[in-house]
Structure 1
Amino acid sequence: MIYYITGGERSGKSSHAQKLAEGLSDNPYYLATSRIWDKDFEKRVKRHKNDRDERWTTIEEEKEISKVIPKNSVVVIDCVTLWLTNLYFDSENNVEKSLELATIEIENLAKLNSQIIIISNEIGMGVHAQTHVARKFTELQGWVNQRIANKADKAIFMVSGLPLTLK
């Protein structure tokens, strides 16, 4: 089962995903996809860790996320945007290669016998990106979000802390 939770920055995606996971399992997993790029982001990661109690097990994986998910588990993947950033950066901003790698992982996630809660961002709804590289990343994010939403059994759009059911 795949749950897809998307929305803007600070829309309540992570909190909603955490509550959902805790309702599905006494011992959920949190799959962190981020790299620590700077001090501000390091603080954000620490805040997210502090939001989870001892029931949670953290797994860290930057790119091959389908390979680290335990069988028959409940896993929150946080988040697609940071995961895609890793793929995009490591492929030297190659949209096609990043989309290919992401699509393979999404297909692999759909085959797993686990309950997977995928968090993503709707970055294309914000300010128009100022650079070519950023505009291409926004396109990549949109295409990957569509692929995930298509595979998802349930999809939720978060707005101002409120969940709107899409599927």
Structure 2
Amino acid sequence: MARIIFVTGGARSGKSRHAEARVRAFPGERLYIATARAEDDEMRARVAKHIADRGEDWATVEAPVDLAAALDRTDGRGPRLVDCLTLWLSNLMLEGRDWEPEAETLLAVLARQQSPVILVSNEVGMGIVPENALARAFRDAQGWLNQRVAAMADEVEFVVSGLPLRVKGTPPA
């Protein structure tokens, strides 16, 4: 099995920047698997900034909902950065799709990858209980997904204020 690295933390904690550095430590083509949908000017500006910050040595694969298929298609090309599971899950839920079978498929695909995969996700369960049912359902689903990915990952890191804290696994050499 390939090395699976799970990077989690709060919003704007430095997760993506840290995950990009982890990808750069592996040989091969760098692939960024994007789950965001740029449907308004603010999100388009965020995406453009992320692309500019990464530099030109990354190939981008867009996979707002078909993440498992994107991982299968890109396996063997080099290390992949999935940014992020939080947006992927929210895309599924907002489309009214049954996220649980999609998540199970993702976990099965991750288990058979040959090239490294670094997955970024928000830790959403550390705040107050959301006031509406959809937000509570999302928080619960994200917590479940994060737990399952962390359990299968070789390494888990929690990023806070730009600093990665090792939760699971041996540090890279």
Instruction: Quote the RMSD (CA, aligned, Å).
Output: 1.3
Q: Any idea what the Cα deviations from partners look like across 1:15-60, whole Å, max 9, x if unmatched?
A: 0011111111353100001112322222111111111112110010
Where in structure 1 do 4 or more consecutive aligned residues deviate above 2 Å?
none
Letter in 2 for 1:145: N
Aligned to 1:48: 50
Instruction: Please tell me whether the aligned partners of residues 68 and 105 of structure 2 are also in contact (alpha carbons under 8 angstroms).
Output: no
1:15 and 1:25 mapped to 2: Cα distance? 18
2:75 is matched with which residue? 71
For residues 21 and 151 of structure 1, the distance between their equivalents in structure 2, rounded to whole angstroms, comes to 19
1:86-105 superposed matches below 5 A:
86-91=91-96, 97-105=98-106
CA distance in 1, matches of 2:65, 2:111: 16
TM-score by length of 1: 0.92
**1:25, 1:15 → 2: CA distance?**
18
Find the partner of 1:82 among 66, 83, 87.
87
Identity level (%): 39
Aligned length: 163
Task: Return closer, same or farther for 1:25/1:126 CA change in 2, 3 Å cut-off.
Answer: farther
In the alignment, structure 1 segments of 5+ residues that lack a partner are none
SS at match of 1:91: coil
Task: Provide the secondary structure at the position in 2 that maps to 1:166.
Answer: strand
Kept in 1: contact 2:28–2:79 (CA 8 A): no
